[in-house]
Structure 1
Amino acid sequence: MQKLTRSRALPTLAGVWLIWMTGSLCGPAAAQGTADIYTVGGIPVDETGTDGSTARAAALRSGERVAFDRLLQWLLLKEDVARIPDDVRANPSRFVTGYSVQDERIAANRYRATIEVQFDRDGVRNLMGELGLVFEEYRPPTHLLIPLLGQGGQLTLWDNNPWLDIWANRPSAGDFIPLLVPHGELGDVSALSVFEAAGGQADRIAGLARRYGVTHALLVRADQAAEGRQVTVSVVLTDRGQPIGDPLRFQLRRAVDESGADFLGRTAMTTARAAADLWIQSVRDRRAADGILAVRAEFGDFREWRRLLTEVQRSSRLAHVTIRRLTTRHSDLLLHYSGTVDAVREALTAIGLDVETAGDPWLLRFATVEDPPPAAAPVPDAPVEPEAPAPPVVD
């Protein structure tokens, strides 16, 4: 594996102090870094040639193309990926800085392996700039998948749900949004019923996500028409049970020679791509701030301050957070928000903060939040709710 290094200046002592106090230089995006998204792994390659060396070279070239296409899908909306010139996508070698190879098997005229490709961040950025494309460099946090299936007049979540089985068994290495598929055990059934999931009950959705150590969830509801020839899918991103943006709906038709399982598999792949676009669009919408709100955050110590700042920065309604003043017990902040002031208050409450709005500025502090009580017993399948007007069909 080729490793590239860069010399970088050490921050000043004052800069180190600020980083320790705030946890980052420029908010959560800077803390996450951009390196991970430019490393694309889990690419299986299998090529033949006149000898093992030729086959290996061909395999690496094909792997580069697959990895580059995956990177483009992570950086761009689907409609913008189509604007990348075909010759660039066919030969992305100039953007490759190194490889990592696993499970390598070389025969006389065949090469098989799983590869990881490292791409040149600056080179890809320059390409996007030349084409005038807006792109996102930060992958979303891990989401818990909540798959609802409407089939034969019933809505199911945990028991006898082939939609859940499809997600549990599909390869997910290429997904932009890292996903956790729930096990469907008794604790899951008690934490979230099919009624609560279908109704978008925020506290119950957040409670199930906490069982898996995450705060974000992806609700994907698939309603199959009679005989399973067509499916309507609804996709909702949530943070602590609260929806992020508007839901996305689309329809797919089953091909004549396509099995039911293959059709659901293709639907899952399309849904994962749609969820990626929904996330990227939500990030862009957040950056278009509608207003600025002054608040005072109160805390007991600097550890609590760092945790509070991190949670506020992750709020789905905030495009940016400016620190105006910081003392040992409180901080004055400016919240650059999208939507309405009431929506900001609801978003701050959803991340576990007490919000006092009577004075000026608002006061924020951590609230004590208990897990929602478990359901008394597993809830039976519910009737399918009326569907929204059907959107255009996508073949």
Structure 2
Amino acid sequence: MHRFFRFLPFVLLALAAAAPAQAQNQQELYTVSGIRVDASGASSTEAFNAGISQGRPRAFQILFRRLTRQQDWNRQPALDAAALLRISRGFDIANERRSTTRYVADVTYRFNPDAVARILRSSGIAFAQGAVRRILVVPMSPGVGRGPWASALANPAFRDSMVPFTVSGAEDDEALAGLNFETAGWNELSAVAARNGVAEVALVQAAYSNGRMMVNIRRVAAGGAPARTSLEVPVQGTMGAVYPVAAQAAVRAVEDLWKTRSVVDYSQRGRLVADVRITSLAQFGGLQAQVGALNTVQSVQVTAMHLGYARLAIAYVGGADQLREQLAGAGVILTQRGGQWTLALAGR
């Protein structure tokens, strides 16, 4: 018992340090930038107010589509100006131009995560619960290599994707040579993933055959089962014109694949007990902080501690498989052997 109380201050410090980072990541997710407004009014003030109000519905639509699956986009709640204002936290302005009757600017809108969540839950719409950690995208056409497909996926236009990603570079090609899209596992990808600072990889393959362009996506993560999706992209014009269209479709499919696992059913609740091997105070505090920072985790309690080991009780919403997937995205591996759960930091 003394060991528990000796460790407790360090654990609390680690949890406190993680909270600001979690809040910052969540606020970035609920911030929509680059909304161009152009409005007129009887006075400069009226034009300004009209412009800010004009852009808010467009910003909310972008946010809604960022958080939800494409199949739910037609279910977007119809919010009037007053309702949109109630779920807003503020705005920032750039490239402003004013006259006595006209207002033009690029506006960044910030929304209140809790208020938006309440509206979506009351509408019965599943939505992503938090920001997704950066992943690595490996272009394949059909194998790994440089070319127009890799260039299309590296388009800067995708930098604001719901799933932030880095495209593997030429320096990764040697380690990925001979990679098989169908069978590649984490053991073959872990070194490249570590070099790029990620815990998840998306193999994004463009395959052209008999006048058809298929885009195949396979998600591989440490401690998680691979997931796959495919889509067909219409071939119109030259291949040079098809690749950018296919890349856009691929990015949207990647977003949907990642959103699907982050959708939470709040009526489903669970609790599990997991053992943790302690190598240092920093390692243990960091692991507990990462677990507690997940939006789906309601509480993390230390129920037992022994030399080199601790036992954590985790209460969560959603399913155990979903919790395992979300932990993997946070760099924590949850495994079950013989009915006993264990937790470890990825790569340890």
The TM tier, using the shorter chain, reads 0.7 to 0.9
Write the distance in 1 (CA, Å) between the matches of 2:71 and 2:347: 44
Tell me the equivalent position of 2:221: 239
RMSD: 4.6
Matched, 1:45 2:32: no
Identity %: 20
In the alignment, what sits opposite 2:260? 281
Q: Counterparts of 2:336 and 2:128 in 1: how far apart (Å)? A: 34
Change in CA separation of 1:100 and 1:108 when aligned onto 2, cut-off 3 Å: same
Find the counterpart in structure 1 of residue 56 from structure 2: 64
Deviates more, 1:105-114 or 1:123-132: 105-114
Q: Which moved more, 1:302-311 or 1:109-118?
A: 109-118
Partner in structure 2 of residue 208 of structure 1 = 192
Looking at structure 2, the residues matched to 61 and 40 of structure 1 have their Cα atoms a distance apart, in angstroms, of: 14
Match of 2:3 in 1: none
Counterpart secondary structure, 2:26: coil
Match of residue 263, structure 1, among 242, 249, 257: 242
Q: Which runs of 5+ in 2 are unaligned?
A: 1-7
Q: Is the 8 A contact 1:244 1:282 kept in 2?
A: no
Give the secondary-structure state (helix, strand or coil) at the position aligned to 2:132.
Answer: coil
How far did residue 159 of structure 1 move? 2.4
**What's the CA shift string for 1:66-89, capped at 9, x where partnerless?**
321121123222222321245659
Distance 2:159 2:309 in 1: 43
* 1:270-298: CA deviation from partner (whole Å, max 9, x where unpaired): 32222222222213489999997654322
Question: Residue 310 of structure 1: CA displacement?
Answer: 5.3
How far apart are the structure 2 equivalents of 1:90 and 1:79?
A: 27
**Which residue in 2 is equivalent to 1:195?**
179
Q: Deviations over 1:133-186 (max 9, x none)?
A: 23333011011111212xxxxx243222x121112124125411111223x23x
Q: In the alignment, what sits opposite 1:330?
A: 309
Mean CA deviation greater in 274-283 or 19-28: 19-28
What is the aligned length?
A: 330
Q: Match for residue 157 of structure 1?
A: 144
Conservation of the 8 A alpha-carbon contact between 1:356 and 1:364: no
Q: CA deviation at 1:269?
A: 2.4
Q: Which runs of 5+ in 1 are unaligned?
A: 1-15, 150-154, 370-395
- For 1:249, the equivalent position in structure 2 comes to 230
Aligned to 1:118: 110
Q: Which residue of 1 aligns with 2:166?
A: 180
The change in CA–CA distance for 1:263 and 1:366 in structure 2 (over 3 A counts) is closer
In 1: Cα distance, 2:204 partner to 2:95 partner: 34
State the TM-score, normalized to the length of structure 1. 0.65
Q: After superposing the two structures, state which structure 1 stretch, 204-213 or 264-273, moved more.
A: 264-273
Identify the structure with the greater helix proportion: 2
Alpha-carbon contact 1:145-1:179 (below 8 Å) kept: yes
Distance 2:337 2:289 in 1: 21
Secondary structure (helix, strand or coil) at the match of 1:140 reads coil
Pick closer, same or farther for the CA change 1:71–1:365 going to 2, 3 Å.
closer
Shift of 1:234: 1.9
